[in-house]
């Protein structure tokens, strides 16, 4: 937990939980809270809430809740110190140098920092080559021929890797150990292991940045007819292909603003689309989209237009990506660009030939993915039963992945009409496989808190928030032991201790002392819309608890008397009963 005065505490004071969580979950203002779809369990209607004032979150579905750090720990699957760092970085809070680390951690961090530095130097080198060498100028002419002017080249950091074979190596070697250079991926080692050389030669270089804008890899295109046409950085300690989306560092703001992303295949496509003034574009940099990339994108939007190349590989990639995107509840449209003459058009070619406006027009008209798939199925031979079966087999896996039952049913009808398939037959097939399909995550019933009674809920809220009288209230509750035996007894006990203390204790810390079920009830109460409490109301709640206490004792006394009407001590019991009846009258009637 964040100790008072510690760095974590300072971060928590400064961090805006809505902004941090907003990077992972799309939040909408709803009353005093923000709500969205819970990232921890599958759901269709938002039951996840963030409280900007109390700086806490809570899911009414699965019950997860806590402060900004527990959220990041859960999302990033990282320990507390790491979560503090993540939040600090997101909020632009300078991180003090860590005092102690394990030697391994320190070594790893140094290695990562050195690898980033190598990439920074390599990037500067490639850019210089493009600008100031004869070879580079030829590369520049090639780029200009493809419609990339100086402004675009500078904006996207495009550079050139010369053909020499060791030009970059000679520059880096004095500063870095051979082993580190090879680990960076920009330098390779020959098979004998004796000789080092530049991995990228005679190629246009495109820097690939991670989400926070640090260059971690390069994508390189051959200048001539050299093979392979594209050569990228290998996997390194700072780069994993499936974890990075090209251009996301710049696209994340536009994506969040417009609440959708355009997914293209390569960096040239992304650059072409971004140049056309459409900033919310990312490239998967490879023919198929990997699950970590989808999760990454899902932090910014759940709506995507897939615009892959129209060739066979691109179609297959589109269909593979669809499967994954649907599983992650994305709303997907597919843009299949019309051919230009007899040429199949990728986004780069299309924009060059037809212009940005034409692209924006087809983008707006991009059909939902099911329409795209039906169109693909209709290209199959539907004149025979076998052909129809094939088309159906092609479509069915996608339809089954639609998590929404109503939508699934709607699409079944459309497919039946379009493919001229008997609808009941199709529905039977669909239902059969629907039962085999993974359902939404069910909430464990024992976790669902029983609703505490209204009076308890009000008192808990007051104990947590009524700055003017919560101490007095805590004293009264403790003195009369009024909360004992309540369903929420433990919540009261924790709040009373906090209320009596002179230091303000945040809700998350109180929550941390409770077990899961109790914390859940507590957070739910904090999120309820409620009126400003008054002392008058507090007193009437206290009265109600007092009556309840008396009534309970009265019932007990009565039971003892009835169980043994002639026993010893009857006299005392009867006296006690009288006394309690009197107290009850004095405590007044519930009103």
Residues of the shown chain interacting with Zn ion in the complex, contacts defined by CB under 5 A? 38, 40-41, 59, 61-62
| Smallest distance, Zn ion to C-beta of residue 408, A | 23
Between 385-400 and 312-327, two packed helices, what is the crossing angle to 10 degrees? 50
- Pair 433, 427: CB distance under 8 Å: no
CA distances from 454 to 63, 91, 459, 586 (A): 20, 39, 9, 23
Q: Closest CB to Zn ion among 62 and 544?
A: 62
Q: Closest CB to Zn ion among 428 and 444?
A: 444
| Smallest distance, Zn ion to C-beta of residue 67, A | 16
SS3 assignment, position 362:
helix
**Rounded-to-integer distance, Cα 306 and Cα 285, Å:** 13
Q: Closest CB to Zn ion among 71 and 398?
A: 71
Instruction: Let me know how many helices (H) and strands (E) the chain has, helices first.
Output: 26, 15
| Smallest distance, Zn ion to C-beta of residue 64, A | 5
State both tokens at 292.
């970590």
| Smallest distance, Zn ion to C-beta of residue 58, A | 9
| Smallest distance, Zn ion to C-beta of residue 38, A | 3
| Smallest distance, Zn ion to C-beta of residue 45, A | 11
Q: Closest CB to Zn ion among 140 and 302?
A: 302
**Rounded-to-integer distance, Cα 303 and Cα 368, Å:** 11
| Smallest distance, Zn ion to C-beta of residue 66, A | 12
Residue 119 CB contacts under 8 Å (≥ 6 apart), including other chains: 184, 186, 207, 214, 215, 216, 217, 218, 238
Q: Closest CB to Zn ion among 37 and 482?
A: 37
| Smallest distance, Zn ion to C-beta of residue 516, A | 13
Return the biggest CA–CA distance within the chain: 116
| Smallest distance, Zn ion to C-beta of residue 74, A | 10
State both tokens at 552.
């309970």
Which of 226, 235, 238, 237 minimizes the C-alpha distance to 200?
A: 226
SS3 assignment, position 518:
helix
Between 80-90 and 7-14, two packed helices, what is the crossing angle to 10 degrees? 40
- Pair 309, 346: CB distance under 8 Å: yes
Q: Closest CB to Zn ion among 62 and 486?
A: 62
Which of 320, 217, 208, 333 minimizes the C-alpha distance to 271?
A: 208
**Rounded-to-integer distance, Cα 429 and Cα 422, Å:** 11
**Rounded-to-integer distance, Cα 502 and Cα 500, Å:** 6
Which of 244, 302, 308, 241 minimizes the C-alpha distance to 273?
A: 308
- How many residues does the structure list for the chain? 591
Q: Closest CB to Zn ion among 448 and 497?
A: 448
| Smallest distance, Zn ion to C-beta of residue 404, A | 18
| Smallest distance, Zn ion to C-beta of residue 73, A | 15
| Smallest distance, Zn ion to C-beta of residue 24, A | 13
Q: Closest CB to Zn ion among 38 and 84?
A: 38
Q: Closest CB to Zn ion among 61 and 499?
A: 61
Q: Closest CB to Zn ion among 41 and 476?
A: 41
- Pair 380, 392: CB distance under 8 Å: no
Q: Is the peptide bond before 142 cis (omega within 30 degrees of 0)?
A: no
Q: Closest CB to Zn ion among 74 and 117?
A: 74
Question: Which DSSP string do the residues of 439-508 spell out, in sequence order?
Answer: -PPPPPGGGSPPPPPHHHHHHHHHHHH-TTTHHHHHHHHHHTTTTTT-TTHHHHHHHHHHHHSSS---HH
Q: Closest CB to Zn ion among 38 and 281?
A: 38
């Amino acid at each position: 937990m964040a100790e008072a005065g510690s760095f974590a505490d300072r971060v928590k004071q400064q961090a805006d939980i809505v902004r941090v969580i907003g990077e992972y979950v799309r939040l909408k203002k709803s009353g005093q809270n923000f709500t969205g779809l819970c990232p921890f369990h599958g759901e269709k209607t938002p039951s996840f809430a963030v409280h900007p004032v109390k700086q806490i979150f809570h899911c009414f579905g699965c019950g997860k809740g806590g402060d900004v750090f527990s959220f990041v720990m859960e999302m990033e699957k990282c320990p507390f110190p790491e979560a503090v760092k993540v939040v600090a970085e997101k909020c632009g809070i300078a991180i003090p140098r860590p005092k102690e680390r394990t030697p391994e951690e320190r070594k790893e961090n140094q290695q990562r920092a050195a690898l980033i530095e190598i990439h920074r130097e390599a990037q500067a080198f490639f850019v210089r080559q493009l600008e100031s060498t004869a070879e580079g100028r030829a590369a520049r002419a090639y780029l200009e021929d493809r419609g990339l002017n100086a402004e675009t080249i500078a904006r996207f950091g495009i550079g050139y890797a010369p053909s020499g074979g060791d030009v970059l190596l000679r520059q880096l070697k004095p500063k870095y150990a051979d082993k580190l250079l090879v680990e960076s991926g920009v330098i390779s080692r020959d098979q004998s292991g004796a000789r080092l050389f530049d991995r990228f030669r005679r190629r246009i270089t495109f820097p690939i940045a991670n989400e926070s804008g640090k260059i971690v890899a390069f994508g390189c295109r051959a200048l001539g007819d050299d093979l392979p046409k594209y050569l990228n950085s290998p996997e390194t300690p700072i780069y994993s292909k499936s974890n990075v989306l090209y251009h996301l560092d710049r696209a994340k703001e536009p994506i969040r603003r417009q609440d959708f992303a355009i997914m293209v295949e390569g960096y040239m496509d992304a650059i072409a689309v971004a140049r056309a003034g459409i900033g919310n574009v990312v490239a998967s940099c490879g023919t198929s989209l990997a699950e970590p990339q989808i999760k990454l994108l899902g932090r910014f939007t759940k709506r995507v237009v897939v615009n892959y190349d129209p060739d066979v590989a691109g179609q297959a990639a589109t269909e593979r990506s669809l499967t994954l995107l649907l599983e992650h509840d994305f709303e997907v449209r597919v843009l299949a660009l019309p051919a230009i003459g007899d040429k199949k058009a990728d986004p780069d070619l299309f924009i060059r030939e037809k212009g940005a406006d034409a692209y924006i027009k087809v983008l707006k008209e991009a059909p939902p993915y099911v329409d795209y798939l039906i169109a693909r199925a209709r290209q199959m031979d539907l004149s025979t039963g076998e052909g129809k079966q094939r088309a159906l087999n092609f479509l069915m896996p996608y339809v089954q992945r639609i998590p929404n039952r109503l939508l699934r049913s709607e699409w079944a009808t459309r497919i039946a009409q379009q493919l001229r398939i008997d609808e009941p037959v199709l529905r039977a097939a669909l239902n059969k496989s629907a039962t085999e399909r993974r359902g939404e995550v069910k909430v464990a019933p024992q976790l669902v808190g029983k609703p505490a009674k209204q009076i308890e809920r009000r008192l808990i809220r007051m104990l947590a928030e009524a700055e003017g009288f919560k101490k007095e209230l805590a004293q009264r509750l403790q003195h009369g032991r009024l909360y004992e035996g309540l369903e929420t007894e433990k919540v009261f006990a924790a709040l009373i201790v906090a209320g009596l203390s002179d230091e303000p204790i945040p809700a998350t810390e109180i929550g941390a002392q409770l077990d899961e079920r109790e914390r859940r009830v507590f957070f739910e109460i904090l999120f309820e819309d409620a009126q400003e409490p008054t002392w008058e109301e507090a007193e009437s709640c206290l009265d109600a608890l007092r009556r309840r206490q008396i009534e309970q004792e009265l019932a007990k006394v009565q039971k003892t008397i009835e169980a043994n009407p002639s026993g010893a001590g009857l006299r005392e019991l009867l006296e006690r009963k009288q006394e309690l009846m009197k107290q009850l009258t004095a405590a007044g009637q519930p009103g």
